[in-house]
Amino acid sequence: MLVLSRKKNESIVINDDITIVVVEIRGDKVRLGVEAPKEVPVHRREVFDAIRRNEAAEGSKKPADTVDPAEAAGEA
């Protein structure tokens, strides 16, 4: 893990197209701004983890009577 020190209004750049800016520092909280292309998802870790859990749960809910189109066409 790379650890950087930044002050208010300072930033870091990731891969030429993502910028993280320190917007505010108040006590033990730091507010960050993220500038990234719209196709790059940006989430807080707890939201990211919840999305992954939901995706995993949806993947395991495939009904037993669902037929794979490739199997139905004899391609499997």
Q: Is the pLDDT of residue 72 over 90?
A: no
- Tens digits of per-residue pLDDT, 13-52? 999 999 999 999 999 999 999 999 999 999 999 999 999 9
For 29-35, which contacts have Cβ atoms below 8 Å and span 24 or more sequence positions? none
Where in the chain are the domains?
Answer: 11-61
Phi, psi of 30 (to 5 degrees): -120, 125
Are 50 and 43 contacting, i.e. CB atoms less than 8 angstroms apart? Answer: no
Length of the chain, please?
76
d(CA 13, CA 19): 4
Please report, as a single letter, which amino acid is at residue 17: D
Nearest to 34 by CA among 49, 51, 15, 53: 15
Read off the pLDDT band of 65 (50, 70, 90): low
- Is pTM beyond 0.75? Reply is no
Higher pLDDT, 70 or 57: 57
Read off the pLDDT band of 61 (50, 70, 90): confident
